[in-house]
């Protein structure tokens, strides 16, 4: 596995009060350990997913976000706050390789910072979580038409899972 030189990467707006508080508190913690460069905000660019051990993924316009998938492909452990709806969660057990923190609130800032710090300081746990991400890659990609034509039965890529999710939705109506 490639070396990760950033502990936590934020991709999303800092406008929310909690996010600014969390970012400042985490930066303060890292500064006290001479690791202040180990926290990045989005101005650093999307390539930071690949350099980061954990990535704070907020919800997008839908209940889930494309950042979830970007983080997984970059080997960056997705971190969420509160009850996040994960992409294709009916089929993918995101809890195997994500860190779900308490709801965004003033009271949870220190606890959230401590949980991320505990994770990034445990290389064996990070390795196991990153390893589990590799198992879901096929579910998050689209197979080529040749692969789809050669498949015997339903192919469990994003399109196959999308059709299954659509069928579930239709039958639930």
pLDDT in tens, 8-62: 777 666 666 677 777 777 777 766 655 545 555 554 556 777 888 888 887 666 6
Stronger pLDDT, 152 or 137, i.e. the higher one: 137
Place of tokens 């316009």: 61
3-state class (DSSP) for residue 9:
strand
For the ranges 21-25, 76-80, 89-93, which has the lowest average pLDDT?
21-25
User: What does each C-alpha distance from 17 to 5, 20, 30, 56, 106 come to in angstroms?
Assistant: 27, 5, 20, 15, 9
Task: Give the pLDDT band (50/70/90) at residue 127.
Answer: very high
Stronger pLDDT, 59 or 139, i.e. the higher one: 139
What DSSP character marks residue 61?
A: S
Task: Name all contacts of 108-114 with Cβ < 8 Å and 24+ positions apart.
Answer: 108/81, 109/18, 109/21, 109/22, 109/25, 110/25, 112/22, 112/81, 113/22, 113/25, 113/26, 113/29
Stronger pLDDT, 51 or 64, i.e. the higher one: 51
Cβ(64)–Cβ(85) below 8 Å: yes
How much is the average pLDDT of 147-151? 65
3-state class (DSSP) for residue 7:
strand
Stronger pLDDT, 146 or 69, i.e. the higher one: 69
Region of 154 on the Ramachandran plot (φ > 0 left; ψ -120 to 50 alpha; else beta)? beta
**Identity of the highest mean pLDDT range in 16-30, 98-112, 154-168:** 98-112
Gap between the Cα atoms of 99 and 115, Å rounded: 9
Cβ(97)–Cβ(79) below 8 Å: no
How much is the average pLDDT of 87-100? 86
3-state class (DSSP) for residue 132:
helix
How much is the average pLDDT of 92-121? 83
Q: Whole-model pTM?
A: 0.75
Gap between the Cα atoms of 113 and 1, Å rounded: 25
Residue-wise burial string across 107-137, b where 16 or more C-beta atoms lie within 10 A, e elsewhere: ebbeebbebbbebbeeeeebeebbebbeebe
Place of tokens 């689209």: 142
pLDDT of residue 129: 94
């Amino acid at each position: 596995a490639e070396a990760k030189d950033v502990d936590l990467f934020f991709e999303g707006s800092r406008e929310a009060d909690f996010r600014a508080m969390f970012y400042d508190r985490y930066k303060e913690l890292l500064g006290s350990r001479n690791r202040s460069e180990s926290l990045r905000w989005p101005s650093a660019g999307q390539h930071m997913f690949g350099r980061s051990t954990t990535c704070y993924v907020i919800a997008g316009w839908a209940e889930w976000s494309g950042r979830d998938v970007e983080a997984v492909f970059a080997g960056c452990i997705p971190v969420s706050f509160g009850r996040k709806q994960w992409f294709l969660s009916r089929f993918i057990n995101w809890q195997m390789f994500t860190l779900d923190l308490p709801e965004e609130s003033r009271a949870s800032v220190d606890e959230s910072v401590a949980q991320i710090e505990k994770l990034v300081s445990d290389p064996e746990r990070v390795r196991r979580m990153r390893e589990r991400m590799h198992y879901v890659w096929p579910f998050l990609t689209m197979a080529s038409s040749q692969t789809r034509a050669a498949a015997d039965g339903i192919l469990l890529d994003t399109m196959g899972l999308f059709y299954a999710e659509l069928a579930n939705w239709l039958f639930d109506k």
